[in-house]
Amino acid sequence: MKTFLTQFFTWWNGQTLGTRLFTWRKGERIGQDEFGNIYYRTRGGAKDPALGHERRWVIYKGVAEGSMVPPGWHGWLHHRTDIAPSQENYTPREWEQPHQGNLTGSAAAYRPKGSIVGAGQAASGKDYQAWTP
């Protein structure tokens, strides 16, 4: 019941009721990424007459945050490539780091030395000198 009410009244928690019905009627599951997001396209790759190409979409696991889409899936969603990452054998290079979403506004956000909200620093303001002309 809670899931139904969440889908009915919010759009930022995964999928709405309308998206669930559209996905059930016209969607074809293509794959899932390491964050649990599920990717779909129109069934059979049918072209949407309004768009002129197949429709592709993602249903986020949890909060709908666009920065949580990895680069390979982002390219597929935006029609930069026709092959979905789940359909190819991709191995990252040794210098590549794993994808991270945007951490701004969270406790893990980057805070440089001297920031008033820096980790483990008091907001004393002793290291600040005002500029005078």
Reported as a single tens digit per residue, the pLDDT across 72-97 is 899 999 999 899 998 888 777 899 88
| Residue 117: half-sphere exposure toward Cβ, Cα within 13 Å | 8
% residues pLDDT > 90 (the chain)? 25
Residue 85 has which token pair? 């990452």
Q: Is the pLDDT of residue 6 over 70?
A: no
Do 7 and 16 form a contact (C-beta atoms < 8 A)?
yes
Digit-coded pLDDT (tens) for 103-128: 888 888 888 877 777 655 555 556 66
Q: Is the pLDDT of residue 65 over 90?
A: no
Q: Check residue 128 and give its pLDDT.
A: 67
Q: Which residue has the higher pLDDT, 113 or 53?
A: 53
Q: Check residue 37 and give its pLDDT.
A: 93
State how far the Cα of 119 lies from the Cα of 56, in Å rounded to an integer.
Answer: 40
**pTM of the complete model:** 0.72
